Amino acid sequence: MNTKKVHIREQIAQTQRYIEEHLDSNIPLESLAASCGYSALYFHSIFTGIVGEGVKEYQRRLRLQRAANQLLFSETSLIDIALDTGYESQEGFSRAFKKRFNFSPLQFRKLQPNYGSLSGGKLMNTVMPQSAPKISIKTCAPITVAAVRHIGPYSECEVAFSTLCTWARKHGLYGTFRQVIGITHDDPRTTPAEKLRYDACMEIPNDFEVSNEVQKYTISGGRYACCTHKGSYRNIAKTFAAILGSWFPDSGENLTNNPPLEIYLNSPSNTPEDELLTELRIPLR
């Protein structure tokens, strides 16, 4: 038996049970991650990959399911149910409930006599985890890079790349074959958008000097779990979650706390979005 596989899945199962037992509490993601021995970034993706939804989404779904039971099997008022579910208004609760169950809370309450006939509909739908992409284990050499730090929404990181490319042109590096790399330090599902950290990087010679807005550092070499993501950069997080949720628990591998890498294999300036190729690398112990 793969004890690591059992251990990771049991950790997530225990986390799910803890959330279920503390459904009325807003549990910090960092405390859940620390209890399992992972960084918040990795823990959230492991949880999402195994469970099929993030921690907040899981908690919200369970609260809405509890609300559905209250509507069907109690006479609790709609506003009290809304407050119990974590919404500040009945209107906000009603919108979320209808999105989940296809019925308004009032309509749903009237379904009680025919509740059993709904078992095949959206009411019983669950979120399924993604299947794991094809993974290979590579031993990669250290990479010396010039980097420009972006703080803010990942969708706005083009500014950092523009600064990096301008610098590279000025120093005769642009147009030569250099790896272009993105490093995402935070999970956008759990970190405020204005606090997200992203490094736009370009490989440079080890002895190359940098200054001003560009920083120089070395990305650690070693063992990486690698796969190729095809398509929009916006969907990289889903592939990342699939790796950590579907492949990692069965792999017998251990993660480090170093951030994952995105190696951009072609350019969005001359490549259709659905043809973009990105090698994802997750550092392993």
| CATH number at 136-283 | 3.20.80.10
Confidence of residue 123 (pLDDT cuts 50, 70, 90): very low
Pairing mode of beta strands 180-184, 197-203 = antiparallel
CB hemisphere CA count around 3 (13 angstroms): 0
Q: Above pLDDT 90, what percent of the chain?
A: 49
SS3 124: helix
Write out the two tokens for 28: 């910090």
Provide the Cα torsion 40, 45, 47, 50; round to 10°: -160
For residue 145, pLDDT over 80 is answered with yes
Taking alpha carbons only, the member of 242, 236, 284, 245 closest to residue 263 is: 236
What pLDDT does 124 receive? 42
What pLDDT does 119 receive? 40
What pLDDT does 147 receive? 92
* Cα first-last separation, the chain: 21
Write out the two tokens for 243: 């790796």
Of 128-142, 185-199, 237-251, the one with minimum mean pLDDT is: 185-199
Contact 227, 136 (CB under 8 A): yes
For residues 167 and 161, give the distance between their C-alpha atoms in angstroms, rounded to a whole number.
Answer: 10
Counting beta carbons within 10 angstroms of the beta carbon of residue 234, is it exposed (0 to 12), middle (13 to 18) or buried (19 or more)?
exposed
For residues 213 and 166, give the distance between their C-alpha atoms in angstroms, rounded to a whole number.
Answer: 11
Highest mean predicted confidence (pLDDT) among 9-13, 35-39, 273-277: 273-277
Q: Mean pLDDT, the chain, as a whole number?
A: 86
Confidence of residue 177 (pLDDT cuts 50, 70, 90): low
For residues 27 and 34, give the distance between their C-alpha atoms in angstroms, rounded to a whole number.
Answer: 12
**Residue boundaries of the structural domains of the chain:** 3-124, 136-283
**What value does the mean pLDDT take over residues 175-196?**
80
Of 3-12, 87-96, 206-215, 216-225, the one with minimum mean pLDDT is: 3-12
For residues 7 and 249, give the distance between their C-alpha atoms in angstroms, rounded to a whole number.
Answer: 8
Specify the amino acid at residue 277.
L
For residue 43, pLDDT over 90 is answered with yes
Write out the two tokens for 236: 């990289």
For residue 112, pLDDT over 60 is answered with no
Class of the domain covering 3-124: mainly alpha
What pLDDT does 109 receive? 86
Burial track 265-277 (b if 16+ CB lie within 10 A, e otherwise): eeeeeeeeeeebe
